[in-house]
């Protein structure tokens, strides 16, 4: 493209995101293998302890890096993008997961039925919590966009110090 400036992609973001995804998969694979086989991966226990508090916060941090740029596009494009990229996949996968576990319940007697459908709106099903909370954080960012970032940072740090029981 002659005369056009192409935005360069920050490779480090892709590296951090990819590493976080691989670590999520690794930790879950180790946990499930230990749960179902009883085999313990003693050599990888330290790795699991070290990466567990880093993998998901890294993914949330990366998502937050682009909030300002997304909000600058305007409320409608921001909301439409979050609905298309987060809410729709969350809803779709929630319904598919419920259908899967309902079918499993019919065939094996193990699982759950459609009675959990309302949980989609207040208690995400299985691993889909990540999408639900990510959407919630983006809604909060939209609602609090008028507060300067340093004040938000101080507020978040103060809230994180509050013990939750």
* 54, 76: one domain: no
Tell me how far apart the alpha carbons of residues 23 and 56 are, in angstroms, rounded to a whole number.
9
Per the prediction, the chain carries an average pLDDT of 86
Task: Give the residue numbers spanning the domain of 28.
Answer: 9-65
pTM above 0.75, yes or no: no
Tell me how far apart the alpha carbons of residues 141 and 130 are, in angstroms, rounded to a whole number.
16
* 36, 95: one domain: no
How do residues 142-164 score in pLDDT, each as one tens digit? 999 888 888 988 988 898 888 87
Q: Which of 65, 94, 113 is the last residue of a domain?
A: 65
Report the domain count for the chain. 2
């Amino acid at each position: 493209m002659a005369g056009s400036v192409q935005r360069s992609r920050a490779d480090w973001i892709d590296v951090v995101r990819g590493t976080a995804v691989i670590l999520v998969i690794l930790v879950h694979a180790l946990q499930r293998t230990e749960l179902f086989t009883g085999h313990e991966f003693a050599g990888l226990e330290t790795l699991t302890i070290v990466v567990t508090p880093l993998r998901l916060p890294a993914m949330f941090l990366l998502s937050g890096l682009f909030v300002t740029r997304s909000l600058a596009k305007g409320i409608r494009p921001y909301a439409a993008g979050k609905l298309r990229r987060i809410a729709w996949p969350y809803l779709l996968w929630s319904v598919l997961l419920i259908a899967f576990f309902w079918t499993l319940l019919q065939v094996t007697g193990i699982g759950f039925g459609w009675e959990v459908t309302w949980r989609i709106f207040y208690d995400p099903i299985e691993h889909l919590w990540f999408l639900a909370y990510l959407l919630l954080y983006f809604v909060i960012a939209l609602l609090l966009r008028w507060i300067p970032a340093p004040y938000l940072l101080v507020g978040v740090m103060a809230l994180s110090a509050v013990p939750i029981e």
